[in-house]
Amino acid sequence: MVKHSTAVVTICIGILSSASIALVLTWLYQTGCISQEFPYLGAKALLAYSGPEPRFESFGYVFPPLIIYGVLLTGTSPIAFQALVGGSLVGLIMQQMGRVSVSRLWQVLWTLLIFIHPSFGLMALYRPDWATATLLLMGAMTLLLDLAQERDKRLLSTGLALVLLGFVLAPLMLVRFEAWYLLPILAVTILVTFYNTEPPGFQISAALVVLFMSLVAVGAFLYFNWITTDDAFYFVNSSNGSLQQARNLAFVQQEKIDSSVIAALKWLITTVPVYLVTILGVIFSANKHRAGLILILLLPVFMLIISFWKGLFFPSASQLGLFLGLLPVIWWHAPPRRLLSRILITVTLVASLLYTGYRLQQNEFVPEETLLWRQLSGQPIPETPAVQQSLAFCQAERDIADLLDNTLTGPSRLLVDDTVGSGILYRVRRPDAFILPYQFEFVPALQNPGIYTDFILLAGPSSPVADRDRVGAFWSQRSPETLPGFQVIRENPFFQLLQRGL
């Protein structure tokens, strides 16, 4: 009965968390400034659902594909998807914390400290990729830590655990690109985990079982890239493929492999030192299978190092929320039994919470997080150029979308590169009215806009993708002579909207 009531409470809190996230994001979307990731994901899902043919070319190369399909399944609403993932994460962490072998006081205290930590809160609120990756890694590490125990202490049979691990890791490959580089590390982890307990043939078979589905997922995505763009790795450098979103390029931190280790440790120490304290305590208290245990606990650290190495990291508190989400899994496997360990965990949680909040207040993270923090806390938006530009872009995009929502009616068409106008496409929600680069009529519309289109949207001089606008690049000079019959009806630093026949 107690377990049943606990499960009901956990589910109810998860549902309430999902509803709260949805309400906050809806409010930000309608009145404030929301992360540009949401309109981008929403536009891709909308094109996948009801875009003009050939629609697969509009999203088949986009990474992360699992997030696109997730948004598609939640009614093409990235807000609904984030609410679902964020609420599930909250509920799962509560469920895991309830299984940690410490008193209820410590369970409640640590749960609250994790939930109010800015890194976790921001991740659960506006990072669908990292929130989903956290859910998947929680499952993967639960299975790996179970396999690292003696055979008679495992919750699942070895074969079932290996198969489930393979099915959990495969989606991770379609959420975070860093996970691709974890595959050889995972193979070594499996081999080391079974080194003293199983024969070599079993070790190799176990590694193949775990990696097979991940290799299939990676291969399938590369194939989709190849058939849509003739380049299997097109998504890596594409300005519209999500990995290299132009708005973040100015903030990307890329290091050499040795410097990446130092940079990752610096961020861990300053933002989530509790993870380092926890894994060091587990490693030093372990009596057996220490090598395999070290590799398992370092998997998310390897992901952070790879993120620096491959130029996928930008100064973001939310990215480190992953480590907070994994703590209950580790504590369940190896609960901190000494009072000193519990106090040290609590102190590092509180210290990092306060310091991360201070850094948010000092605008040390990416502009999107500064804006989100200031809007949620009701504080004035800082006058720093990067933050003001991010806010101005949100307002400019909403202004153009509102205008098009009223004027792009009936059979009217808009010529635009979706690198420039994906957010506007999502706000207008009429993909049939857009002429985009992957459509057959895009080139004819460029050559004869007066015949094919009623509106043209170009990137403005301050747009982060001004040099990647294929429509603007076609006309080197934007003037009435270049575009006969078209006149500018709305212009701001980020967009220029032209209409025919005024």
The secondary structure of 454-489 as a DSSP string is: SEEEEE-TT-TTGGG-HHHHH-SS-STTTSTTEEEE
Whole-angstrom distance, CA of residue 472 vs CA of residue 214: 40
Residue with tokens 């040795």: 258
Residues 292 and 415 grouped into a single domain:
no
Read off the pLDDT of residues 348-383 as tens digits, 9 standing for 90 and up: 999 999 999 999 999 999 999 999 999 998 899 998
**pLDDT for the residue 327:** 97
Main-chain dihedrals φ then ψ at residue 313, nearest 5 degrees = -105, 135
Cβ atoms of 464 and 409 closer than 8 Å = no
Exposed, middle or buried, 2 (CB in 10 Å: 0-12/13-18/19+)?
exposed
> pLDDT exceeding 70 applies to what percent of the chain?
95
d(CA 208, CA 305): 25
**What is the rounded distance in angstroms from the CA atom of residue 264 to the CA atom of residue 13?**
33
Which of 376, 401, 430 is where one domain is finished? Answer: 376
Sign of CA dihedral 446, 449, 451, 452: positive
Residues 121 and 242 in one domain: yes
Which residue, 378, 382, 277, 351, is CA-closest to 118? 351
pLDDT of res. 87: 96
**Torsion angles phi and psi, residue 58, rounded to 5:** -85, -20
Contact 463, 501 (CB under 8 A): no
pLDDT value for 5: 64
Asked if residue 441 and residue 299 are part of one domain, the reply reads: no
User: Residue 479: pLDDT band by 50, 70, 90 thresholds?
Assistant: low
In whole angstroms, give the CA distance from residue 441 to residue 453: 10
pTM of the model: 0.93
pLDDT tens digits, 260-307: 999 999 999 999 999 999 999 998 887 777 888 999 999 999 999 999
Please state, rounded to an integer, the average pLDDT across all residues of the chain.
90
**Statement: residue 237 has pLDDT above 80:** no
| pLDDT tens readout for residues 334-352 | 999 899 999 999 999 999 9
Q: Are residues 362 and 391 in the same domain?
A: no
**Which residue range forms the structural domain that includes residue 423?**
385-500
The mean per-residue pLDDT over the stretch 414-442 comes to 92
| Distance between first and last Cα of the chain | 72
> Which of 345, 376, 407 is at the close of a domain?
376
> For residue 131, which of 196, 35, 251 has the smallest C-alpha distance?
35
Statement: residue 241 has pLDDT above 80: no
Q: Is 267 found in the same domain as 241?
A: yes
- Identify the residue with better confidence: 155 or 351: 351
Distance from C-alpha of 353 to C-alpha of 357, rounded to nearest angstrom:
6
One domain, residues 299 and 214? yes
Residue 247 confidence class, pLDDT cut points 50, 70, 90: low
In three state form, how does the secondary structure of 108-154 look? HHHHHHHHHCHHHHHHHHHCHHHHHHHHHHHHHHHHHHHHCCCHHHC
Whether 214 and 258 map to the same domain: the answer is yes
Is the same domain home to 231 and 202?
yes
| 194 and 141 housed in the same domain | yes
Which residues share a beta bridge with 459? Answer: 495
pLDDT band at 20 (very low <50, low <70, confident <90, very high): very high
The domain boundary, picked from 376, 394, 411, lies at 376
Q: Examine the domain organization and report whether 335 and 408 are in the same domain.
A: no
Q: Are residues 370 and 396 located together in one domain of the fold? A: no
Q: Are residues 83 and 174 in the same domain?
A: yes
Count of domains for the chain: 2
- pLDDT attached to residue 242: 67
